[in-house]
Structure 1
Amino acid sequence: MIKQYLSIAALCTFGTLVAGCSTRGQVQPDVMQIATAPLTCSSKAECDLWWQRAQTWVTGHSRYPLESSSDTLIQTTGPDGGKRALAYEITKTPNNDGTSTIGFAAHCDSALGCKPDPWQAGADFKLFVRNGTANVPAPGSTPAPAAALAPEAMPAQSIASPTGEPASQ
């Protein structure tokens, strides 16, 4: 009987420690700002360059192989059952004003959360596509103003929620 209580107490202590160390659901505001900023290219030349960068980023960051790659869709296989690795779906949608919006979605299939964090991956992706480099600000640093990241009044995009569930933004 005492052995059973000790086992339960040890299990509860372990669960409390794991929960206390978890950062799931906490997204740095600067990362969120970059990850949710619309990614809209303004000319055919810019859109072609950004689309090429999008494919480069996905193939360099995905643990899953490409399933589809066209002028409007870049998609990896996955996610596989219980794995924390992100699967990606990138879309390019033309807008009525001649611009195109590049959408980003990332998700995994693990109850433990995704690695890397989908919000961080989205911010990294968008910075790379815009600039050719990925340099997400460190926590506590001053992010670039939103106006420098994207024009105002742009269409919504997809990104994964902090729990790994796809969400629209």
Structure 2
Amino acid sequence: MMKKGLLAVLCVAAAACSTQGQVDPDVMQIATTPLTCSNKAECDLWWQRAQTWVTNNSTYQVESATDTLIQTAGPDGGKRALAYQITRTANPDGTATIGFAAHCDGSLGCTPNPWEAGADFKEYVRGAAPGAQRTDLKPPQPASTAMHRDALQGQSVPRSNGEAVSQ
């Protein structure tokens, strides 16, 4: 009887380990789909939503908020909280691509999961998430206008281990 109980516990533990680090394919698709606005008015609205999302979802303070970069402080040593870097890159056809990067410094992974954060961010910015269509968006908060030397161009997504990867 004891062996069966131990076997059951081991099976459950093995099943839990086998799914750890996997991301729902729907979340992955949303997170990796480029976020490209089609004109200045839409791009400005999406950029305002991007800053609102970062302000409302980041543990860290926004360090820089310009027309092309939104960046938080962090990550702090060993913490699982995500630090964000959002970029806005103009495209030759008059559109713009909003890039998303999230990373943490926790050895046990990040909280929230960077893929889920990326999907939530993109849905919110596009206006697909609940509450995204609100007209009471917070105005951008004053922040340093210095560009960070590591600002990423284009589309960024986190790896399953939490590290940011540029596409």
**TM score, norm. by length of structure 1:** 0.74
Residue matched to 2:16:
21
For the 8 Å contact 1:93–1:101, the answer to whether it is kept is yes
Percent identical: 67
What is the Cα deviation at residue 159 of structure 1?
1.2
Distance 1:87 1:70 in 2: 17
After TM superposition, the runs of 4+ consecutive aligned structure 1 residues lying more than 6 A away are none
**TM score, norm. by length of structure 2:** 0.75
Give CA deviations for 1:74-127 in whole Å, capped at 9, x if unaligned.
000000000000000000000000100000000000110000000000000000
Unaligned 5+ residue runs, structure 1?
1-12, 136-154
Residue matched to 1:56:
52
What is the Cα deviation at residue 133 of structure 1?
2.3
For the 8 Å contact 1:85–1:108, the answer to whether it is kept is yes
Q: Which residue of 73, 83, 91 maps to 2:87?
A: 91
Unaligned 5+ residue runs, structure 2?
1-8, 132-152
For the 8 Å contact 1:106–1:166, the answer to whether it is kept is yes
Distance 1:102 1:158 in 2: 9
Give CA deviations for 1:26-49 in whole Å, capped at 9, x if unaligned.
010000000000000011000000
Cα RMSD after superposing both structures: 2.2
What is the Cα deviation at residue 132 of structure 1?
5.7
Q: In the TM superposition, what are the counterparts of 1:105-144 in structure 2 within 5 Å?
A: 105-131=101-127, 133=129
| Cα distance change on mapping 1:134 and 1:107 into 2, 3 Å | farther
| Cα distance change on mapping 1:77 and 1:119 into 2, 3 Å | same
